[in-house]
Structure 1
Amino acid sequence: MTTIRIERDQSLPDDLRVARAQSAPHLGPRILFFSGGSALNDISRQLKRYTFNSMHLITPFDSGGSSQILRKAFDMPAVGDLRSRLMALADESVLGQPDVYALFSHRLSKTAPQGELRSEVAQMIAGQHPLISAIAKPMRQLIQTFLDSFGKAVPEDFNYRNASVGNLILAGGYLSNGRALEPVLFLMSKMVDVRGTVRAVVDENLQLGVELSDGRKIISQRLISGKEAPPIDSPIARCFLSDGTSELTASDVELPKRNRTLIEQADVICYPPGSLYSSVVTNLLPGGVGNAIAQRRAPKIYLPSLGADPEALGHRLSDQVLALITPLRADAGADTRPTRLISHVICDRSVPEADCNEVTRQTGIQCHRLPLCTVEEAKYDPTKIAKILVSLD
């Protein structure tokens, strides 16, 4: 058998590919994202109009907000970003499961007394809460089982304020399934008819750490992102995974085989907008990620965030690209060409042309400036991004 490699010019967006995907989204391209946070959710909501086959490897290392409360209570990975992406990809039409979606998306009051909130959750466990009673059996019984597991294990001093009920259900499912996320993520995906695949990049309870240019090390995502602590005042030089006290190597945290298979199947690989280190680079740290990406012949796209990113202090566009490439090359081999890891940078035309030229000069990666922002504000237009991504298949 003879194998030949064919390269082609590509128009963006490609109207024919977009129309084909929209007419048969169940046959749409397998677009793989390495991400976390909420920056990709609006794009995900548009993308499910064109493909039901997107794949999302999500960081479970978040340590802020309600995820941090659950992590402390149950010594578990973070589930907030996972639940958020499941909801973004869920079938929100009347043909889906609107009652289940409403429950998973519900948040408890930010201000009510703890006793009142505890009582509300107890009503859910007993099946007496309106959001639970609206769900038909046997799905209702399964959800109650997960909530019951949560209720039996929850500490007395647990802070329920502003808690996502979907996160509580995920926590209960995690405890019910031998402290594993994969089974409960699969079940929740089926409950709300998720138009894609959502997985934790690794099913482990770890923390993100960074080393700053001045030599200091910081462990914990919430201390890095600038959302719950003062912004870092020195550029990030590198990041790593930690057990909470010491640094782990890539060989200590291996990419699961099931997630490597997703990379091997991807038609397009995307490093999407989001906090540079805590949402994107963190997913590239487990052993095996870089090698799997290098081996896959598919478009590999970086969509840099627009606006200020506290984690990218002092970073030009070329520095952001190198931040992605560095951990990937550490895994795939120091001699791996950058273009095997990122084939193109696609950004809004507001990014200076000189910055794009510098990326190409340093790495050989092509950088394309396109009109991708909404008219009203300097944010990516989710529909434009979705159309470009399905055009790359």
Structure 2
Amino acid sequence: MTAKVSRRLVVPDSVRVHRYQNLPELAPSVLFFSGGSALNKIARVLKAYTHHSIHLVTPFDSGGSSAKLRQAFNIPAVGDLRSRMMALADETVLGQPDVFELFSYRLPFDATVAELELEQELAALSVGEHPLMQPILAPMKTLITTQLIRLCSELPKDFDLRGASVGNLIIAGGYLGHGQLLDPIIFLFSRLVKTLGQVTTIVDETHHLGARLESNEVVLGQHQITGKETVPLAQPIKEIWLNQGLDERLPVSATLPEDRKQLIEQADLICFPPGSFFTSLVANLLVDGVSHAILNNPNPKIYLPNLGVDPEQLGWSLMDRVEYLLTLLLGDAERNATEPVLNWLLIDEHYDYGEIDLERLTKWGVGVVKTPLIGIKPHQYSEHLVVQALLSFT
């Protein structure tokens, strides 16, 4: 038998928060659709309150150190995956501090460092003789070196190692050694750093992102859209899709795997979190099957919007973004009133988010919760206040 139970919502709910902080291993599951590093600070705090957070990240990044690995091996982007796992890693004495340090290390980016020196450092890592490898004991050391040896055996001779993340290299080696599948190496990586939560990609695909601007110009590649590695877009984004490759507009579809579907359907709370609106949040929602999985979850669904300036949001007000999310997932924003994919808009009580049309939100079935979310630094969420507010809904 299934029964619907309601209660009075208090945000923040100090009793619930205190209970979860005392017993994080028994706390509820909070699922985030995200990518990028914007949520990492919140994730680092969240693990003190619950060990059951779920992070579905996008594998579509085409910038940073992930881009080099994608070009060399045609693999999904692994940088965001690694950084989120590191944010959730157990950093106490019960964790694996030596492994944490290794996976967080980057090879020197200094232009004065010769290519041969970088190759020698990677070789020392792959045979376990690097200073960072020496404190790590077998069989863990063997597991790590196996992935690096596989990577080195297939690394192109002209591969640029400057600034390479060792964690990314280990994951890439594992991907190549496990039939070009991410899930087995994600499982291994999570065990090695003892993540206090679950991190996985929304799909195991090598797709990229494509966008059409208001001027009808087509932009291919996440690195061209975010406004962080290139000049920010001069026109608002009007359409975004998954694309095959970076050479021409070739829209492609991807289907949500069954295990991800179950994670979405069974989470105690779903959060559409801060971060790059299109390339981190919306990118996850472009996968076929995501909207149905969200619909099948009866638990609270919350949108926590960005603060400050997100170059991708040029021309997009908060109301525009809420309507876009509802339309993307349901086809019609008003359908949300009876088949909700979003229940609450969670905002700081004093921050100016622009116009918030309560009448339209009510028509769409979206409630507004205002509570303190910003700490000492202006235009920046307090990680503790955000975590405590989110967990108050569970």
For normalisation by structure 1, the TM-score amounts to 0.95
SS in structure 2 of the partner of residue 72 of structure 1: helix
Partners of 1:316 and 1:355 within 8 A in 2: no
Aligned to 1:309: 310
| SS of the residue 2:374 aligns to | coil
Q: Alignment partner of 1:383: what SS?
A: helix
2:277 match: 276
The one-letter amino acid paired with 1:58 is V
Moved more, 129-138 or 208-217: 208-217
The answer to whether the 8 Å contact 2:46/2:387 transfers is: yes
SS in 1 for 2:368: strand
| Match status 1:340 vs 2:340 | yes
Q: How far apart in 2 are the matches of 1:277 and 1:124?
A: 37
Whether the 8 Å contact between 1:356 and 1:367 is mirrored in structure 2 is no
> What is residue 114 of structure 2 aligned with on the other side?
113
Question: Structure 1 residues 216, 145: CA separation in 2 closer, same or farther (over 3 Å shift)?
Answer: same
User: How far apart are the structure 2 equivalents of 1:19 and 1:370?
Assistant: 18
**8 A contact 1:209–1:221 mirrored in 2:** yes
The whole-number CA distance in structure 2 between the counterparts of 1:359 and 1:208 is 31
- The superposition leaves residues 144-201 of structure 1 with CA deviations (integer Å, 9 ceiling, x where unpaired) of 0000011001111111111110000010000010011111011010011100110000
Does structure 2 retain, via aligned residues, the 8 Å contact 1:351–1:369? no
Conservation of the 8 A alpha-carbon contact between 2:340 and 2:365: no
- Larger mean Cα displacement after TM superposition, 234-243 or 304-313: 234-243
Are the equivalent residues in 2 in contact too, given 1:108–1:160 (CA < 8 A)? yes
Greater CA drift, 376-385 or 32-41:
376-385
1:216 deviates by 1.9
SS of 1:238's partner is strand
Partner of 2:124: 123
CA contact (8 A) 1:318 1:358 kept: no
Q: CA deviation at 1:367?
A: 2.0
Check 1:12–1:159 CA distance in 2 against 1; reply closer, same or farther (3 A cut). Answer: same
Aligned-pair distance for 1:359? Answer: 5.5
**Equivalent residue, structure 2, for 1:213:** 214
Distance 1:372 1:147, change over 3 A: same
Tell me if the contact between 2:317 and 2:354 (Cα under 8 Å) persists in the aligned partners.
no
Tell me the distance in 1 between the aligned counterparts of 2:210 and 2:8.
40
Change (3 A) 1:352 1:254: closer
CA 1:360/1:135 → structure 2, altered by over 3 Å: closer, same or farther?
same
Counterpart secondary structure, 1:57: strand
Give runs of aligned pairs for residues 189-200 of structure 1, distance below 5 A: 189-200=190-201
| Offset, 1:324 | 2.0
Per-residue CA deviation, residues 13-51 of structure 1 (Å, 9 max, x unaligned), is 111111111111111111000000111001001100110
Contact 2:105 2:165 in 1 (8 A): yes
| Alpha-carbon distance between aligned partners in 1 of 2:364 and 2:217, rounded to the nearest angstrom | 28
Which string of whole-angstrom CA distances, capped at 9 and with x for unpartnered residues, describes residues 232-289 of structure 1?
111111211011234435xx31001010010111000001100000010000011100
Q: Quick one: distance in 1 between partners of 2:65 and 2:242? A: 21
Indicate conservation of the 8 Å contact 2:237/2:314, yes or no. yes
**Alignment check: 8 A CA contact 1:253 1:286 kept:** yes
Q: Structure 1: which 5+ residue stretches go unaligned? A: none
Q: Tell me, yes or no, if the aligned pair for 2:210 and 2:249 is still in contact at 8 Å.
A: no
Matches within 5 A, 1:1-393: 1=1, 3-111=2-110, 112-244=113-245, 245-248=248-251, 252-330=253-331, 336-337=335-336, 340-348=340-348, 349-352=350-353, 354-355=355-356, 357=358, 360=361, 363-393=364-394
Q: What amino acid maps onto 2:345 in structure 1? A: V
Superposed displacement of residue 369, structure 1: 2.6
Once the two structures are superposed, residues 46-90 of structure 1 have per-residue CA deviations (whole angstroms, 9 ceiling, x without a partner) of 100110000010000011110101100111010000000000000
Q: Is the contact made by 1:238 and 1:323 (CA closer than 8 Å) also made in structure 2?
A: no
Alignment partners' CA distance in 2, 1:27 and 1:129? 39
Give 3-state SS (helix, strand or coil) of 2:242's partner. Answer: strand
SS of equivalent residue, structure 1 residue 32: strand
Q: What displacement does 1:361 show?
A: 5.3
How far does residue 129 in structure 1 lie from its aligned partner after superposition? Answer: 0.3
Which range moves more in the overlay, 84-93 or 239-248?
239-248
**Number of residue pairs matched by the alignment:** 388
Q: Deviations over 1:308-359 (max 9, x none)?
A: 11000011101111232232125xx887426611111111231357425365
Q: What TM-score do the two structures reach when normalised by structure 2?
A: 0.95
Structure 1 residues 277, 303: CA separation in 2 closer, same or farther (over 3 Å shift)?
same
Counterpart-to-counterpart distance in 1, 2:357 and 2:234: 26
Question: Could you say what the CA RMSD is over the residues aligned between the two structures, in angstroms?
Answer: 1.6
Q: Which moved more, 1:297-306 or 1:361-370?
A: 361-370
How much identity, in percent, do the aligned residues show? 46
| SS, match of residue 59 in structure 2 | coil
- Of 34-43 and 111-120, deviating more is 111-120
Please report how far the alpha carbon of residue 388 of structure 1 lies from its aligned counterpart in structure 2 after TM superposition.
Answer: 1.2
- Partners of 2:222 and 2:378 in 1: CA distance: 28
Measure the CA separation in 1 of the matches of 2:128 and 2:99: 13
